[in-house]
């Protein structure tokens, strides 16, 4: 008999059905992936299994766990079930952990409350569990608070708390979405190890993750099961159009890269840009000596884990945060200094698109006023008619329907909102567009559309794009050149095709290895990099990367490498010439 048996599950809120007639099962020790785009009902299904749906949800059908019915079960029974039999890992560990209670105590509570073990034994068990999920120095971390841990460590704690009572089923809802690729690889590797003991229901929108970690897949579309089958078969011969669409939209590492752009004038140039924060006596360098040249019609990607300084770098270039040193030249003019001090035309020519489309649009304004706002500064001479025409033109460029103009931002989907944000940036015809993780929050198919939109816009107008991302697979399809940063320092800068074919720096290699590929035969997502990026408060001496580098020499610990040309790449590594990566 299967461990979890979902039959004809339906979930409604009022008249809106979020899940309808969904049936599937999970056997003991099996790992099943639940894949779908956002809003497809994945999380609702998981919450229903846990009996955690809000009171206004109308649930139909049956969910049987080990023969016991969960739908309509009494709260006390559910409580026991959740504590002992089913563990759950949420997407955002910061929100799932109580910030006021040390993590050890939080984990211990579960054991004490349900009488699984008591006193010293409970402590030992917690410590053992923290050790098993790979938390260094569990005795010390036992007393740590959630905010003192990094994102990856927090997610490990979450997994430990889900596993503490030795459950039969672990439900992981987008467990790595908030994490960097390298940390994601570590967490996935951890889940892989855990699978030996429990069944796993892995919920995600990312086919790359699921390809390497699940035996069986359930694809859901709009609350209905679109397709079900063994992972390999589903990838090689998808039956439903929806599955095919998801697979096609997933970014890969083997697609074509863009041909080099035609030589053009240099629009933006930075020299030795540094950003630092004063912290007590010390000076913390968020960005150190970065050089970049950007030509018209070219896309340069800036890549790195969180904390690598990629956002600080472009924000300093844009004049949003102060620069400590360096020069920024725009079309030959020195423009270093705050954005406020810059001429209006220069501010017009440098535009930014943010990661969170909803957050970058004022919730109190209608889309029309939002898109038209730049005109009030940069084209004040326009009358109402002229403004309307410009807005209509911008809408057409980003492929938005005119009906949306009277809506408020929250009434738009993520993709529509991001198009509106791009329309606001493009309406003044800038020369440089900076996209700060502009597609990171979007679903696969929507992401592909936005990338396509940016490419077309660039080919039509010669726009130069700086594309910030932590995801190398996304970068590959949009950029001409790639700049990899680590702890605010340049690691490698090379043509996109060259870098993917032959990375020159061990860190670049590790990032490439960590990218999960939607291919069950060689799924990528390999763990070749342990640990996490150190904080800028305490940068390692010598090469900043040496503590995590497999190839580090004694020299790397003392002497910082200088960026130099090796082959077609600019690399900052002492061993760049000799290493075959």
Partner 1 sequence: MVSGGVLCAIGLVAVIGPWISPNEYLTADFNNILRSPAFADGHVFGTDDLGRDLFVRTMMGVQVTFAVAIVASIVSLVIGVLYGATAGFVGGRVDAVMMRLVDTLYAMPFIFFVILLLVVFERNFLLIFVAIGAINWLDMARIVRGQTLSLREREFVQAAQLLGVSTPKIILRHIAPNLIGVVIVYVTLTIPQAILIESFLSFLGLGVQEPQTSLGKLVNDGTDQMEGAAWLLLIPATLLAVILLCFNFLGDGMRDLFDSRRSE
**Residues near partner 1, by CB under 8 A:** 318, 320, 339-340, 344, 347-348, 350-352, 354, 356, 359-365, 373-374, 376-378, 408, 410-411, 421, 424, 428
Q: How far is the CB of 441 from partner 1 (least distance, A)?
A: 12
Q: Of 132 and 348, which has the nearer Cβ to partner 1? A: 348
Q: How far is the CB of 438 from partner 1 (least distance, A)?
A: 12
Q: How far is the CB of 347 from partner 1 (least distance, A)?
A: 4
Can you say whether residue 417 is alpha, beta or left, with left for phi > 0 and alpha for psi between -120 and 50 degrees? alpha
Q: How far is the CB of 437 from partner 1 (least distance, A)?
A: 11
Q: Of 367 and 491, which has the nearer Cβ to partner 1? A: 367
Q: How far is the CB of 364 from partner 1 (least distance, A)?
A: 4
Strands 325-330 and 31-35: unpaired
Q: How far is the CB of 289 from partner 1 (least distance, A)?
A: 25
Q: How far is the CB of 343 from partner 1 (least distance, A)?
A: 10
CA distance 550 to 535: 20
Q: Of 94 and 365, which has the nearer Cβ to partner 1? A: 365
Q: Of 30 and 437, which has the nearer Cβ to partner 1? A: 437
Sign of CA dihedral 366, 367, 369, 373: positive
Structure tokens at 262: 């035609």
Q: Of 351 and 477, which has the nearer Cβ to partner 1? A: 351
CA distance 298 to 466: 8
- Side-chain-facing half-sphere of 405: CA atoms under 13 Å: 16
Q: How far is the CB of 39 from partner 1 (least distance, A)?
A: 18
Sign of CA dihedral 368, 371, 372, 373: positive
Q: Of 342 and 480, which has the nearer Cβ to partner 1? A: 342
Q: Of 158 and 428, which has the nearer Cβ to partner 1? A: 428
Q: How far is the CB of 207 from partner 1 (least distance, A)?
A: 29
Q: How far is the CB of 579 from partner 1 (least distance, A)?
A: 40
Q: Of 263 and 363, which has the nearer Cβ to partner 1? A: 363
Tokens 């950003």 label which residue?
A: 275
Q: Of 109 and 378, which has the nearer Cβ to partner 1? A: 378
CA distance 83 to 111: 8
- Side-chain-facing half-sphere of 111: CA atoms under 13 Å: 23
Q: List for the chain the helix, strand, coil content (%; round to 5).
A: 40, 25, 40
Q: Which helix (H) or strand (E) is 170 found in, with range?
A: strand 169-173
Q: Of 66 and 373, which has the nearer Cβ to partner 1? A: 373
Q: Of 148 and 376, which has the nearer Cβ to partner 1? A: 376
CA distance 301 to 130: 37
CA distance 201 to 226: 17
Q: How far is the CB of 354 from partner 1 (least distance, A)?
A: 4
Structure tokens at 434: 């900076």
Q: Give the list of residues 6+ apart from residue 325 with CB closer than 8 angstroms, or none.
A: 272, 273, 274
Q: Of 465 and 510, which has the nearer Cβ to partner 1? A: 465
Structure tokens at 409: 């931002």
Q: How far is the CB of 152 from partner 1 (least distance, A)?
A: 25
Cβ distance 96 to 90 under 8 Å? Answer: yes
Q: How far is the CB of 404 from partner 1 (least distance, A)?
A: 14
Cβ distance 364 to 355 under 8 Å? Answer: no
CA distance 267 to 466: 12
Rg of the Cα atoms in the chain: 25
Tokens 């049956």 label which residue?
A: 62
Q: Of 118 and 345, which has the nearer Cβ to partner 1? A: 345
Q: How far is the CB of 315 from partner 1 (least distance, A)?
A: 9
Work out the burial of residue 1: count CB atoms within 10 Å of its CB; fewer than 13 is exposed, 13-18 middle, 19 or more buried: exposed
Q: Give the list of residues 6+ apart from residue 61 with CB closer than 8 angstroms, or none.
A: 6, 7, 8, 9, 10, 21, 22, 23, 71
Longest dimension (CA), the chain: 75
CA angle (531, 563, 183) in 5-degree steps: 20
In DSSP terms, which residues pair with 189 in a beta bridge?
A: none
Q: Of 155 and 360, which has the nearer Cβ to partner 1? A: 360
């Amino acid at each position: 008999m299967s461990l979890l048996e979902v039959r004809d599950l339906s979930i409604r809120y009022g008249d809106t059905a979020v899940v309808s007639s969904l049936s599937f099962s999970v056997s003991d020790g099996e790992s099943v992936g639940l894949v779908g785009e956002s809003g497809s009902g994945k999380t609702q299904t998981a919450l229903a299994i846990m009996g955690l749906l809000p009171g206004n949800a109308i649930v139909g059908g049956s969910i049987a766990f080990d023969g016991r019915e969960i739908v309509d079960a009494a709260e006390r029974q559910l409580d026991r079930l959740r504590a002992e039999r089913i563990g759950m890992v949420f997407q955002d560990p910061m929100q799932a952990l109580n910030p006021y209670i040390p993590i050890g105590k939080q984990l211990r509570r579960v054991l004490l409350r349900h009488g699984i073990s008591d006193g010293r034994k409970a402590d030992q068990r917690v410590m053992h569990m923290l050790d098993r999920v790979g938390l260094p120095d569990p005795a010390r971390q036992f007393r740590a608070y959630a905010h003192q841990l990094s994102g990856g460590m927090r997610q490990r704690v979450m997994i430990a708390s889900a596993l503490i009572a030795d459950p039969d089923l672990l439900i992981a809802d987008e467990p790595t979405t908030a994490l960097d690729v390298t940390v994601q690889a570590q967490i996935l590797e951890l889940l892989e190890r855990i699978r030996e003991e429990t069944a796993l229901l892995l919920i995600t929108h990312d086919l790359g993750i699921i390809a390497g970690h699940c035996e069986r897949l359930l694809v859901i579309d709009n609350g209905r099961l679109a397709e079900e089958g063994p992972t390999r078969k589903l990838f090689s011969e998808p039956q439903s159009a929806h599955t095919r669409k998801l697979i096609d939209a997933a970014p890969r590492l083997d697609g074509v890269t863009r041909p080099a752009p035609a030589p053009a004038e240099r629009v933006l140039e930075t020299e030795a840009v540094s950003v630092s924060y004063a912290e007590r006596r010390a000076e913390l360098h968020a960005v150190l000596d970065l050089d970049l040249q950007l030509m018209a019609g070219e896309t340069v990607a800036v890549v790195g884990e969180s904390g690598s300084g990629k956002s600080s770098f472009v924000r300093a270039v844009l004049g949003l945060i102060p620069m400590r040193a360096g020069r920024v030249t725009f079309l030959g003019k020195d423009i270093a200094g705050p954005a406020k001090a810059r001429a209006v035309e220069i501010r017009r020519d440098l535009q930014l698109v943010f990661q969170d489309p909803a957050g970058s649009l004022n919730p109190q304004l209608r889309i029309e006023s939002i898109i038209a706002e730049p005109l009030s500064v940069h084209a004040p001479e326009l009358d109402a008619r002229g403004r309307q025409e410009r807005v209509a033109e911008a809408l057409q460029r980003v492929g938005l329907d005119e009906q949306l103009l009277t809506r408020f931002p929250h009434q738009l989907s993520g993709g529509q909102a991001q198009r509106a944000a791009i329309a606001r940036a493009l309406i003044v015809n800038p020369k440089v567009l900076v996209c700060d993780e502009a597609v990171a929050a979007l679903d696969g198919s929507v992401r592909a559309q936005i990338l396509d939109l940016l490419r077309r816009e660039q080919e039509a107008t010669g726009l130069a794009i700086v594309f910030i991302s932590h995801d190398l697979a996304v970068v590959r399809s949009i950029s001409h050149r790639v700049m990899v940063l680590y702890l605010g320092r340049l690691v490698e800068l090379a043509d996109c095709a060259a870098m993917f074919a032959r990375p020159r720096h061990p860190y670049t290699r590790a990032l490439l290895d960590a990218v999960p590929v939607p291919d069950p035969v060689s799924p990528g997502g390999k763990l070749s990099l342990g640990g996490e990026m150190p904080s800028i408060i305490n940068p390692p001496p010598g090469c900043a990367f040496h503590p995590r580098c497999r190839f580090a020499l004694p020299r790397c610990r003392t002497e910082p490498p200088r960026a130099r040309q090796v082959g077609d790449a600019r690399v900052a590594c002492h061993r760049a010439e000799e290493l075959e990566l």
